[in-house]
């Protein structure tokens, strides 16, 4: 099955892909209109006039308007997926559904992203990222916040519960890793999985190290969690996986195997680097990605720490606390 055929098959069972613009590097985000009762939209795009205009236009192509929507499901807490949620909910009166753990975060979006940024900043500083780089990234992140929104979650979802629509059942699967709130919707009858950013065909989803949703200060092992989540998804007999960006996936087992192998190789590469001499997370990121470690410091630090977690859990690397609270990593002989 080609990606085009997969999209056609999904549309044939009432799942229409609406690709909405975002101002971010990732490009367009996929949202899904499900022709059913209730009339359902999954994810929203970013909060911009252009996004809203295109959403209205694309809904119109299916004979629908924002006012017709009855249920809005948010797959996770990222800005490009939730930005129009408040506007859609107020214009349509639709129920807003999201995994229960994310409800508080979504309702306090501004304050909670500020806390996320503080968390990210102290994490980056502890990994040796220079202060001016951290400050610059925080400024960028603040300027992005206007593309978000703070919807009230009226329909909290529990992991494992089944949403019954007139023509289909969607099982809710909480599969954190890319973010703490990643939620998949599994249509077992049709073997269609709506996976959002949990699995993307053309790029490896980042396991971003994000402040825990329960407010605890402990640093999560995002990549370890993500790998566990991917292993569970691998077991699903899915024929079509619909992603948050790019094209549908028609062989998720092969894709997940490839991702797992790549993570294993990257961990080996990082092990080699710390075996040469102890290094900070920032030094590792620079050795791996050069200047991208500066412009995308948080992304690359998340990536490095994720793989260090794997190595530390295996007893192959350990942390050394250095000056000014900057951590170094060394290989265990």
Contacting positions for Zn ion (CB under 5 A): 78, 197
Quick check: 75 and 194 in contact, CB under 8 A? Answer: yes
H or E, element range at 194: strand 192-196
Nearer to Zn ion, 78 or 271 (CB): 78
Nearer to Zn ion, 78 or 252 (CB): 78
CB of 178 to Zn ion, least distance (A): 6
CB of 83 to Zn ion, least distance (A): 12
In the structure encoding, which two tokens stand for residue 181, read together? 């709130």
Nearer to Zn ion, 43 or 100 (CB): 43
CB of 77 to Zn ion, least distance (A): 8
Nearer to Zn ion, 41 or 165 (CB): 41
Q: CA 51 to CA 138: how far, in whole Å? A: 25
CB of 273 to Zn ion, least distance (A): 28
CB of 244 to Zn ion, least distance (A): 6
Q: For residue 53, count other CB atoms closer than 10 A to its CB.
A: 12
Ordered alpha helix ranges (H), the chain: 3-12, 49-61, 79-82, 85-92, 103-107, 109-126, 131-144, 222-234, 252-276, 281-289, 292-295, 297-313
DSSP letters spanning 230-274: HHHHHTS--SEEEESSSS-BS-HHHHHHHHHHHHHHHHHHHHHHH
Quick check: 17 and 3 in contact, CB under 8 A? Answer: no
The CA dihedral of 87, 156, 220, 171, to the nearest 10 degrees, is: -110
Nearer to Zn ion, 112 or 197 (CB): 197
Nearer to Zn ion, 39 or 196 (CB): 196
Quick check: 158 and 97 in contact, CB under 8 A? Answer: no
Nearer to Zn ion, 24 or 289 (CB): 24
CB of 76 to Zn ion, least distance (A): 6
- Burial of residue 242 (CB within 10 Å: 0-12, 13-18, 19+) is buried
Q: CA 127 to CA 285: how far, in whole Å? A: 10
CB of 176 to Zn ion, least distance (A): 12
């Amino acid at each position: 099955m080609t990606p085009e055929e997969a999209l056609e098959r999904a549309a044939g069972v009432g799942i229409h892909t609406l690709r909405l613009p975002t101002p971010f590097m990732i490009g367009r985000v996929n949202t899904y209109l499900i022709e059913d009762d209730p009339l359902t939209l999954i994810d929203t795009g970013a909060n911009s006039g252009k996004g809203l205009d295109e959403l209205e236009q694309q809904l119109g192509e299916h004979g629908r308007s924002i006012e017709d929507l009855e249920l809005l499901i948010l797959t996770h807490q990222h800005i490009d997926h939730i930005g129009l949620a408040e506007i859609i909910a107020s214009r349509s009166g639709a129920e807003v559904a999201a995994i229960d753990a994310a409800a508080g975060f979504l309702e306090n979006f501004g304050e909670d992203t500020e806390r996320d940024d503080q968390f990210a900043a102290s994490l980056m500083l502890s990994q040796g990222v220079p202060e001016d780089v951290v400050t610059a990234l925080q400024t960028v992140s603040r300027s992005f916040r206007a593309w978000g929104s703070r919807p009230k979650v009226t329909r909290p979802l529990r992991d494992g519960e089944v949403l019954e629509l007139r023509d289909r059942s969607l099982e809710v699967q909480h599969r954190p890793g890319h973010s703490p709130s990643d939620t998949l919707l599994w249509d077992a009858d049709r073997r269609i999985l709506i996976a959002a950013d949990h699995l993307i065909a053309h790029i490896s989803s980042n396991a971003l190290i994000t402040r825990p949703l329960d407010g605890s200060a402990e640093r999560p092992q995002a990549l370890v969690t993500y790998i566990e989540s991917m292993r569970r998804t691998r077991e699903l007999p899915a024929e079509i996986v619909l992603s948050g960006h790019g094209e549908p996936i028609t062989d998720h087992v092969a894709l997940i195997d490839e991702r797992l192998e790549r993570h294993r190789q990257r961990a080996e590469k990082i092990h080699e680097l710390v075996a040469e001499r102890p290094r900070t997370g920032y030094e590792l990121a620079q050795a791996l990605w050069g200047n991208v470690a500066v412009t995308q410091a948080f992304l690359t630090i998340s990536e490095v720490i994720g793989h260090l977690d794997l190595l530390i859990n295996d007893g192959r690397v350990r942390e050394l606390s250095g000056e000014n609270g900057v951590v170094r990593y060394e290989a265990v002989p």
